[in-house]
Structure 1
Amino acid sequence: MGCRTRALAEELLRVVAEGGKLLPDPRRRHAGRGAWLHPAPACLDSAERKKAFPRALRVQGPLDTTEVRAQIGPEARPTDDQGSGLAGHRKQVDPS
């Protein structure tokens, strides 16, 4: 959402709007319209700056992103060798 980079659904966090708050939906079970976001603080910051959540979720006014920010956490910050922070989110498969 924030960076507009395509990725597999397993690499993204679904978020929904409920009661003026943006809620994480990691199990993808909440009813209603959802939006997809990379679980990286930079992507969340970008989406907030662009005011993308109200537009994507079709709600009026700003949304409180406190719970999504807590879900992502500071440990998800990208390092310099990861670039956009998406490289660390891919699943690796054992070739044997």
Structure 2
Amino acid sequence: MVQHELPADARARTGVPVRTCVGCRKRELATDLLRVVVAGSGPEGSLVTPDLRRRLPGRGAWIHPDPECLSLAERRRAFGRALRVSGPLDISAVGLRVAAEAERSAPARDVESSTEPLEEKRHTQS
């Protein structure tokens, strides 16, 4: 069995669960990942839904709340394997949640990138 190196902050905090993202296959703290479960059957297949409180019954899969990880998981058909479900999966609810998370974190990234030139100017002037 291959052992993977944990992120530095995961090693520092003991007792915090570490999970693997089904999209990018990186190990992260469970608090940094979104848990998804099969919540029932719909017209388009088994309904995969985000478990925001991490309390829903059933087998769960973990994914970064990032559109890239979601597209990787879709392309690799990782949700079906991780959740041990055969047949088509309806992951539209997960896609909406990931999009909302990405939209929420996007303005913070813009603020960070806009402050970088100011810091560079400050260093060149002194």
TM-score range, shorter chain: 0.7 to 0.9
Q: Which has the higher contact order (CA 8 A, sep 6+)?
A: 1
Cα distance between partner residues in 2 of 1:72 and 1:30: 18
**Is residue 55 from structure 1 mapped to residue 55 from structure 2 by the alignment?**
no
TM-score of the aligned structures, taking structure 2 as reference length: 0.58
> For structure 2, which runs of at least 5 residues remain unmatched after alignment?
1-21, 110-126
Shift of residue 62, structure 1, vs aligned partner: 2.0
> For structure 1, which runs of at least 5 residues remain unmatched after alignment?
83-96
Q: 4+ runs of 1 displaced by more than 2 Å?
A: none
Q: Which has the larger radius of gyration?
A: 2
User: What is the root-mean-square deviation of aligned Cα atoms in Å?
Assistant: 1.8
Cα distance between partner residues in 2 of 1:61 and 1:53: 11
Q: 1:36 aligns with which of 62, 67, 73?
A: 62
- Find the counterpart in structure 1 of residue 25 from structure 2: 4
Select the structure that is richer in strand: 2
Whether the 8 Å CA contact 2:67–2:98 is kept in 1: the answer is yes
Select the structure that is richer in helix: 2
Q: How many equivalent pairs are there?
A: 80
- The C-alpha deviation readout for 1:19-60, integer Å capped at 9, x for no partner, is 211100010011010000000010010000001111110111
Identical residues among aligned pairs (%): 54
